[in-house]
Chains A and B, each alone.
Chain A
Amino acid sequence: QKEVEQNSGPLSVPEGAIASLNCTYSDRGSQSFFWYRQYSGKSPELIMSIYSNGDKEDGRFTAQLNKASQYVSLLIRDSQPSDSATYLCAVNTWAAGNKLTFGGGTRVLVKP
């Protein structure tokens, strides 16, 4: 079992719709969770971080964390063509030496 798992996609959504991305992780001791966006040919950039169970909203992005289910998700509301990218889930585990592990990424395509 991979430490951090994501559906590779592509996830195709019409412009203006909600894109829903999911991520599961294997280490129950993980305490910090991040979503990075990566455009083709570019390096990843942070868009959201979440540390507590529940929802965290930032603009059109909402991150959701459920530690009991070892599940973190990202919602993109009012999707725009500029949101087309690969979204990487990352999990930080302090007990493992503050190690940051990435999932394989979900490719999102927003169609005008």
Chain B
Amino acid sequence: DAGVIQSPRHEVTEMGQEVTLRCKPISGHDYLFWYRQTMMRGLELLIYFNNNVPIDDSGMPEDRFSAKMPNASFSTLKIQPSEPRDSAVYFCASRPGLVLGGELFFGEGSRLTVL
């Protein structure tokens, strides 16, 4: 299996522009998570899905952020409009639907810089 695939790996954009980050989870995994990592705030959970349904989006910072999972093999995280404080590494991760949780498999991350 190719693992969790994220794109783009790096994105540099200007304030006010729309940013779309993409994720392909590991086939057969029921859960998909989006995290944001910064030096100041560490690894923050933004939103996660179970069988394509959003379960908890309480970590989404504000209405500028939205996430979708139209099918089991694809998810997007969109920021519109982007701001410099959104600069961070965004990780997508997936895992099987085990009762005790199980190992979370991370993508390589998308490094976003908003100028």
Contact = CB atoms under 8 A, between A and B. Distances in A.
B104 A46 contact: yes
Nearest to A6: B42
B43 A94 contact: no
Interface residues on B, range: 20 to 34
B100 A51 contact: yes
A45 B106 contact: yes
A90 B45 CA distance: 11
Contact of B43 (A42, A44, A51, A98): A44
Interface string B70-97: 0000000000000000000001000001
Interface string B44-55: 010010100001
Contacts of B11: none
B43 A102 contact: yes
Contact of B100 (A31, A42, A96, A101): A31
Given A51-B100, A97-B55, A104 B42 contact: yes
Interface residues on A, range: 20 to 34
A34 B104 CA distance: 10
Nearest to B107: A43
A43 B50 contact: no
Given A92-B100, A99-B48, A43 B43 contact: no
9 contacts: A31-B101, A94-B100, A98-B31, A98-B99, A98-B101, A100-B33, A100-B48, A104-B42, A105-B42
Interface of A: 31-32, 34, 36, 42-46, 49, 51, 88, 90, 92, 94, 96-105
Closest 9 CB pairs of A and B: A92-B101, A104-B42, A43-B106, A32-B101, A102-B43, A32-B100, A97-B55, A46-B103, A44-B106
